[in-house]
Chain A
Amino acid sequence: MLTVERLEVRYGGIHAIKGVSLSIARGQIATMLGANGAGKTTTLRTISGLVKASRGTIRFEDVELTNRPPHEIVALGVGQAPEGRMIFANLTVKENLEMGAYLRKNRAEIQNDLDFVFSIFPRLRERIKQPGGTLSGGEQQMLAIGRALMTRPRLLLLDEPSLGIAPILVKTIFEKIQEINRELGMTILLVVETGELMIEGKASEIAKNEGVRKAYLGET
C-alpha cells in the first residue's frame, strides 16, 4: 500500500535521513522503531509532504506522493497525527474535528465518523465546546488521533501517540489504535519510542524489515 524507497532528506546541511526504505501492506499496523534523532518523524513528515525529499520515492496505492503538497496527500488518503499533537489550541474540540473533515462534503459520512471518534474517545464528546488548548495531554492526543481520523485516511500515520502521556492512558490509546484498525480496516503506521512497544502479537513490525533495521536501528 505504501512503498518508500531510498528516501533521503536534508535540513539545510543536516542529512536527517540517508536512504530509508519501507513498505506496508493494506490492513496492517506497522510499527517503526528507532532511537531519538534516527529520523522517524522526518520520515512521516516527508510522507505527508511537510518536508521535501532530496532523493528517493514515496508511492501510495500506485500514486507517486514524493514532493506533492501536503493537502493533496491528505486528499489521496494519507492522514497523520503528528508528533507533539499540534492541536489547534485556539479552536474548540468540535472545530478541531471539523478541520479534519475539511476536504469532505458528505455530511452524513462526516457525522458517522464523528460518532465513531466519540465512541472510541467519549472524553472528547464531554469536552466538545472547550478550546483544544485547555485539554490535558492525553485528551489532546485523543483529539489529534480523532482529527486525523476525520480526514478519513486509508493510511493513518501516528507519530509517538504515547509521548508525554500517563502509562495507564498509553495502554488505552494503543487499544484504541487497534480498535480503529479492526473496526475501520484502516492501515496504520505507528512510530513508537524504542522499548515502549505495547502492542503485541497482531502488529507486524516493519522494524523487522531489513532496510528499516539498517536505517533506524543500525545507526545512531
Chain B
Amino acid sequence: MSELLQQIINGISLGSIYALIALGYTMVYGVLRFINFPHGDAFMVGAFVGYYAAPRIVPLVGGSLLIAGPITLLLSMLVCSALGVTIEKLAYRPLRPRPKLTILITAIGISLFLEFGGQLVFGPDPKSFPTLLPSAVIINTPNLVLRSTPVIVIATTVGLMLLLRFIVMKTKLGTAMRAVSYNQSAASLMGINIDTVISFTFVLGSSLAAAAGILYGSLYPSINPLMGVFPGLKAFISAVLGGIGNIPGAAIGGFIIGLIETFVTGYLSPTYRDAIAFGILILILLFKPSGILGRAESEKV
C-alpha cells in the first residue's frame, strides 16, 4: 500500500514536469498551429539558469532557500521568456505566411542549435543541480519515505496552473489569446494585435518550461544540455494525449504520462520507461487523435 503511495507521489511529481512543459506546447499550438520543438530545450535552459544563478543568489539572501528558491525561479522564467519571444520574433514571425512544413523544419533546426549550442556553452558533461528546495524527510516508515521536495514540486506546479488558469480565463490578454486561437481574422477585427498575443503566449509557455526546468533539477539533480529531449517529447505526447490546443488537457495528459511511466518503471521494467510514452502516442493517434479533451470538430481556420 505504501509502496503504491510512493509510486503515486513519484508519478505525480514527474507528471508535474511533463504537464508544465506540455502547457507550453499546447498554448503555442493553439495560436500558431504548429509544434514548437525547441520548447523542450527552453526547459533545459531554464534548468541551467538555475544551475548558474542559485549558487550566487543563495548567499545573497543569507542562505535562505525560502527566498532564494522563488527568486531563482522568477529569474529563470524571465530568461526563458526572453528566449522564447526572441525565437518567435526572429525565426517564426518572418515565416508565418509560409507553409507549416517550413516553420516545422526551422523549429527542429533551432532545437538542435540550442542542444548543441548548450553543449558548447555549458559543456557536454552532466552537472549537479544545486539544492534549491528543502529536502527534509516528512514521513519516514519502512515502506514510505516522503521528502519535502516532491511535495514542493507538486504544490508549485498546482500553484502555477491556477495562476495560468486565472490569466487565460479572467484577464483581457488571456481572453484575447483564446480568441486568437479560435479565429485570428476575427480577433484582429476586434483590434487585437495578433503579434502581441503570440509573444504573450510564448512568455507564458516559456515561463512554465523554465519552472519545469528548475523543479526537474531539484527532483533529479543531474542536468545536461540534452536533458530536454526526452522530457520534451513526453510532454509533447502529454499534450497530444490531452488534446493538442487544449490547456486543461495538457495538464491532465502530463500527469497521466508521468504516472504511467512511473508505474511501468516500478512494476514492470525500467527498460520500457521511454518506450511506453511512444506506445501511448501510437495508441492515441490510432484511436483518438483528438485526445482526451480535444474538440472532435474539424480544425477551424
Residues of A whose CB lies within 8 Å of any CB of B are: 45, 48-50, 69-71, 74-75, 79-80, 82, 86-91, 95, 98-100, 102-103, 147-148, 151
Closest chain A CB from B203 CB (angstroms): 19
Q: Would A99 and B185 be within 8 Å (CB), given that A88-B178, A91-B179 are in contact? A: no
B residues lining the A interface (CB < 8 Å): 172, 175-176, 178-179, 181-183, 185-194
> Within the complex, what minimum Cβ distance (angstroms) separates B160 from chain A?
22
B183 to A, closest residue via Cβ: A86
Contact of A71 among B178, B181, B192 (CB under 8 A): B192
Q: Give the chain B neighbours of A91 by CB distance below 8 A.
A: 175, 178-179, 182
Contact A82 B179 (CB under 8 A): no
Contact, CB under 8 Å: B175 / A71: no
Check B182–A148 contact: CB distance below 8 A: no
> Which of B175, B181, B190 has the most chain A CB within a 10 Å cutoff?
B190
Contact of A151 among B176, B181, B191, B193 (CB under 8 A): B191
Give chain A residues whose Cβ lies under 8 Å from the Cβ of B192.
Answer: 71, 99, 102
Contact residues in B for A100 (Cβ distance below 8 Å)? 190
Residues of A close to B181: CB separation below 8 A? 90
Docked Cα-Cα span, A82 to B188, in Å, equals 11
- Provide the residues of chain B in CB contact with A151, threshold 8 Å: 189-191
B contact residues around A50 at 8 Å (CB): 185, 188-189
Residues of B within 8 Å of A98, CB to CB, are: 172, 175
10 tightest A-B CB contacts, nearest first? A74-B191, A70-B188, A86-B186, A103-B191, A99-B190, A71-B193, A88-B182, A102-B190, A88-B179, A71-B191
With A74-B190, A79-B189, A95-B179 already in contact, 12 other A-B pairs whose C-beta atoms are closer than 8 Å: A49-B188, A71-B191, A71-B192, A74-B191, A82-B185, A82-B186, A82-B189, A88-B182, A98-B172, A99-B175, A99-B190, A102-B191
Contacts of A71 in B (CB 8 A): 188, 191-194
List, in ascending order, chain A residues with CB within 8 A of B193's CB: 69, 71
Bound-state CA distance A89–B297 (Å) is 12
> Given the complex, which residues of A lie within 8 Å of B176, measured CB to CB?
99, 102
CB distance from B70 to the nearest CB of A (A): 32
What are the residues of chain A within 8 A of B194 when measuring CB–CB?
71
Alpha-carbon distance A99/B187, docked complex (angstroms): 8
Q: How many Å lie between the Cα of A91 and that of B174 in the bound state?
A: 11
Interface core residue of A88, A89, A103, A148 (most chain B CB under 10 Å): A88
Q: In the complex the two chains form, what is the Cα distance from A142 to B192 in whole Å? A: 21
Q: Which partner residue on chain A sits nearest B187 by CB separation?
A: A99
User: Once bound together, how far apart are the Cα atoms of A71 and B193, in whole Å?
Assistant: 6
**Shortest CB distance A190–B (Å):** 16
CB closest chain-B residue, reference A79: B189
A45 to B175, CA, bound (A): 24
Nearest-CB residue, chain A, relative to B189:
A80
20 contacts between A and B (CB under 8 A): A48-B189, A50-B185, A50-B188, A70-B185, A70-B189, A71-B192, A75-B191, A82-B186, A82-B189, A88-B183, A89-B182, A90-B178, A91-B178, A99-B187, A99-B190, A100-B190, A102-B172, A102-B176, A148-B189, A151-B189
Residues of B within 8 A of A86 (CB): 183, 185-186, 189
Q: Which residues of B contact A90 (CB under 8 A)?
A: 178, 181-182
Bound-state CA distance A151–B191 (Å) is 8
Residues of A within 8 A of B189 (CB): 48, 50, 70, 74, 79-80, 82, 86, 148, 151
Using Cβ atoms and an 8 Å threshold, which residues of chain B touch A69? 188, 193
Closest to A152 in B: B191
Among B172, B188, B189, B190, the one with the most A-chain Cβ atoms within 10 Å of its Cβ is B189
A128 vs chain B, min Cβ distance (A)? 15
Alpha-carbon gap, A147 to B190, bound state (A): 8
Bound form: Cα–Cα A100–B181 in Å: 16
If the complex has contacts A70-B189, A71-B188, A82-B189, are A99 and B183 also in contact, measured as CB distance less than 8 A?
A: no
Least Cβ–Cβ distance between B117 and chain A, in angstroms: 33
B190: chain A residues at CB < 8 Å are: 74, 99-100, 102-103, 147, 151
B16 → chain A closest CB, angstroms: 26
